[in-house]
Structure 1
Amino acid sequence: MTASVREIETVSRQRQRRTRSRTISHLDPIVVSKLPAHEYDLDPACISLVCPSCRTWVPIRVADTQRATAKLVPHHTEQAGTEDPVRCPGSHRLVTINVTVATWSRRLEEGISETNGRRADRVIRKPQPMPTPAVMQIVGGLVDDKTARKLQQTHVKSCTTCSAATPRCADGRRLAHLAAHTQRTAPLRRQRQTEQEEWADKRAWALRLLHDQQWGKAADPVHKTDQQRVRDVLTALRKMLLTPTKLTTSSPWERADLETTIAVLERQEKDLTHRW
């Protein structure tokens, strides 16, 4: 008896299925075709949508009945684990699925391609204003030490305040500072000027060498082209000079001009031949 009771207890019993809730929300049904493609998911593994009431993703329960009614599952507006949660009014809201999975996938792909094709707005940052240089820095780069010293001497001669034993005026102090500044920076300025001149000479020499190298590659074809051009013109002019019709119709001045042109071209041909 004990063994039979134990055998009966160890055998699993079939549980009764929970009855589905027949509660329906008083809100209007949600039509999937009116929602954006990124706010619902028709993947059979996780069919869901964004609840219009609380803006959270909520699964859709589809009952295999004659009506094939689909509605949102009950959900709360707070996070999971919150005490005394408040149920969202969109719970048990009917859903009208009038979009196929293929149509939804195509709309989603078109939206992704359109988003990827957009260009980001280029941000043009406003340049930060540079600090205004001092007057000595502005004027000091325009005049040398000799000019600054002459300006100071001229001002001292013409100014009654600076020429006397009294302290100098504002302009006299500025010119004195300018003369001292240019005298102090004169060696560095001469060194920079010398370096710039040397760099300019080296650059000119490099450009001249590059020009000679490039011309050395193209000199032979160019010379042959010049020789052929002079020969072709000479041949055409000699034919004109030896043609009887041209001799009878042309005047002595035209014949003399043609002979002069032929002589010049012959001299050019000779120069091109001997120069090469």
Structure 2
Amino acid sequence: MTITSAMPTAKERPRRTRTKRKPSNRPALKLSQLLPSHIDLREPLKAVLVCEDCKTWCPITGVQSKVQKLVPHHTGKAGVADAVHCRGSNRRVEFDMTIPEWRQALADAHKETSSRRPTAVLPKAFSRQTGQTLRARAERTPAGRVADWNAVLPRVADVDGDRSRMPAGDVPLDGPTVPLTTLRPERPPR
């Protein structure tokens, strides 16, 4: 089948977003004047930015057409009965920076904010004695701990012996006698 002049052909349609609302009469948003973190151009055909009025993320329509605008959106949450159009709806957007320039501005902003954040947790100040104790504890090995314990054992035995001896002098007349043997509860037979 051949194409003749009598056969209708489809016209190419304009690539623009048709909305009933005209663009806002407010001045256009310039991308260079917004914070780089409030713009998302990772997918250029699905570009979004933060509306200055209601602080919500809004898509940009007509990215491939002559006029780019913010999508008409509401100020309230979804499902609320009184839906009010945001003043930033249909506001024109000027792409006065390229995507590589935006990426560079975003990287610079990230470097600047990361330099303001502390990266190291600083320990609390402590006394000289505490510092010596912590250093000694860090330098000790398991064999050193056993040797230290063995060196302390004779003094511990002396203190235990002193505790078990009765003091010299008169025995109190009133009151119960002090038990000298350790009391251990008996377990019931199974």
Tell me the TM-score normalised to structure 2 length: 0.50
Structure 1: state its 5+ residue gaps: 1-15, 128-187, 195-276
Give, in angstroms, the shift of residue 115 of structure 1: 3.4
2:52 partner amino acid: P
Q: Counterpart in 2 of 1:56? A: 56
Letter aligned with residue 107 of structure 1: A
Helix, strand or coil for the counterpart of 2:59? strand
Q: How does 1:1-276 map to 2 (within 5 A)?
A: 20-21=18-19, 22-43=21-42, 44-62=44-62, 64-65=64-65, 68-117=66-115, 118-120=117-119, 122=121, 191=159
Match of 1:239 in 2: none
Conserved? CA contact 2:45–2:63, under 8 Å: no
Q: How many residues matched? A: 116
**SS of match in other structure, 1:26:** coil
What amino acid sits opposite 1:78 in the alignment? G
Kindly provide the CA deviation profile for residues 206-251 of structure 1, in whole angstroms up to 9, marking residues without a partner as x. Answer: xxxxxxxxxxxxxxxxxxxxxxxxxxxxxxxxxxxxxxxxxxxxxx
Whole-Å separation in 2 of the counterparts to 1:30 and 1:37: 13
Are the structure 2 counterparts of residues 90 and 100 from structure 1 closer, same or farther at C-alpha, using a change threshold of 3 Å? same
Structure 1 CA distance, aligned partners of 2:69 and 2:76? 20
Provide the rounded CA distance (Å) in 2 between the counterparts of 1:64 and 1:32: 16
Structure richer in helix, relative to its length: 1
3-state SS in 1 of match to 2:86: coil
CA distance in structure 1 between the partners assigned to 2:22 and 2:122 by the alignment: 53
Q: Which protein shows a greater Rg?
A: 1
Cα RMSD between the aligned structures?
3.4
CA distance in 1: counterparts of 2:83 and 2:125, whole angstroms: 50
Residue 135 of structure 2: aligned partner: none
Q: Deviation of residue 121 (structure 1)? A: 7.5
With over 3 angstroms needed to count, the CA separation of the structure-2 counterparts of 1:102 and 1:24, relative to structure 1, is same
CA distance in 2: counterparts of 1:19 and 1:103, whole angstroms: 27
SS in 1 for 2:69: strand
* Shift in alpha-carbon separation, 1:120–1:20, aligned structure 2, 3 A: same
> Separation in 2 of the partners of 1:32 and 1:71?
12
Please state whether the residue corresponding to 2:60 is helix, strand or coil: strand
CA distance in 2 between partners of 1:63 and 1:105 (Å): 18
Q: How far 1:36 sits from its partner (Å)?
A: 1.1
Instruction: State the identity as a percent.
Output: 35
Secondary structure in 2 matching 1:71: strand
Q: Distance in 2 between matches of 1:96 and 1:90?
A: 14
